[in-house]
Structure 1
Amino acid sequence: MARPETAYEAAVPPRPACTYTSCYCEENVWKLCDYIRSQDRYPLEEFYAVFISNDRRMIPLWKQKSGHGDEPVVWDYHVILLHVSGGEQNFIYDLDTVLSFPCPFDMYSVEAFRLDDSLRPEFHRKIRMIRADLYLKTFASDRSHMKDANGKWQKPPPPYPCIETAAGNGGCSHHRLFLPLLRERSLSPAPV
């Protein structure tokens, strides 16, 4: 599908119109993927759910809504959406950033990721990319990771039902999606 290089057209509505629940980034990205699939405007195969974490589950990201000034937010993990657009620029969709939405990949990399070389080793990030069509088919979450030891919500859950695969709850839980990422010993940069 050839598109003119003049202006990138966002694959999803403006940020305020997107389905969003704070601290449920993996579900927010699933909802973005589902919207893109329903619109049939861009090939779904151009999009990737990008899981970011590390062995210690401490990854710094800058330019986050939860941040203060130029200080990073240290998440246990974060999930963003990457559009490999086939044009000169790729784009990141992150509903938790204060950067533009979508944000050019180059800008997001510099502003939100910064370089691992400037971080202490325990903060080096590992990345797992899952093609959006596969993410929609295999991701499921019962949200149990968001409950404390007493079964109380750490953060209020989304208002919609838990995400399940078409076959019921036989899909990949968010924890199983992380296992390959956390077993790796070095950062695997996104092939963009």
Structure 2
Amino acid sequence: MIPLWKQRSGCGDKPVVWDYHVILLHDSSGDQNFIYDLDTVLPFPCLFDTYIEEAFKSDDDIYPEYRRKIRAVRADVYLKTFASDRSHMKDSSGKWLKPPPSYPCIETADAKMNLDDFISMDPTVGWGSVFLLPDFVHHFSRRKETKGQ
């Protein structure tokens, strides 16, 4: 579960608690990285540090067992490996919870469905790297820390 603030589905200043949430991180060569989140009310794209402060906020006020983890997967790896048959979009009787997208399901030569491998926060499962939120921020923030801050 991942609480996020500044979401279109949110109510006031309360977080939305997603079972998982997908964002795109543009790891740029410039002064700032950017986050693309289709569900945020923040600018699109949003400066990385702004998104972290406004949407993720801090883990300091969250019980340790609920502290956020992020799986970062390179775009080229994601495009080669991700597969979804949309079964997660159906109820237990097989009916759509919401109308599915009009485009075909995404599959690879090796898989028709591996969404669980992407949303698992077990670093031994799936692709990419799993970060605790503070480690993710430290790794991708371009903010220059100075003594005394």
Which bin holds the TM-score, normalised by the shorter protein? 0.7 to 0.9
Letter matched to residue 132 of structure 2:
L
Contact 2:20 2:119 in 1 (8 A): no
Hey, what does 1:176 align to over in structure 2?
A: 117
Letter in structure 1 aligned against 2:37: D
Q: CA deviation at 1:186?
A: 7.4
Q: Does 1:69 align with 2:12?
A: yes
Q: How does 1:146-157 map to 2 (within 5 A)?
A: 146-157=89-100
**CA distance, structure 1, for counterparts of residue 82 and residue 20 of structure 2:** 16
Structure 2 counterpart of 1:91: 34
Q: Contact (CA 8 Å) 1:116, 1:125: kept in 2 or not?
A: yes
Runs of 4+ with deviation above 3 angstroms: 182-186
Kindly tell me the number of residue pairs found equivalent between the two proteins.
132
Q: Any residues of structure 2 matched to 1:153-172 within 5 Å, and which? A: 153-165=96-108, 167=109, 170=111
SS at match of 1:127: strand
More helix by share: 1
Structure 2 unmatched ranges of 5 or more: 125-129, 141-149
Residue 100 of structure 2 is aligned to residue 100 of structure 1 = no
Pairwise CA distance, 1:182: 3.6
Cα distance, 1:157 vs. partner?
1.4
Q: Kindly report which structure 2 residues correspond to 1:1-192, keeping only aligned pairs within 5 A, or say none.
A: 58-165=1-108, 167=109, 170=111, 173-179=114-120, 181-182=121-122, 187=132, 189-190=135-136, 191-192=139-140
Alpha-carbon deviation of 1:170?
2.3
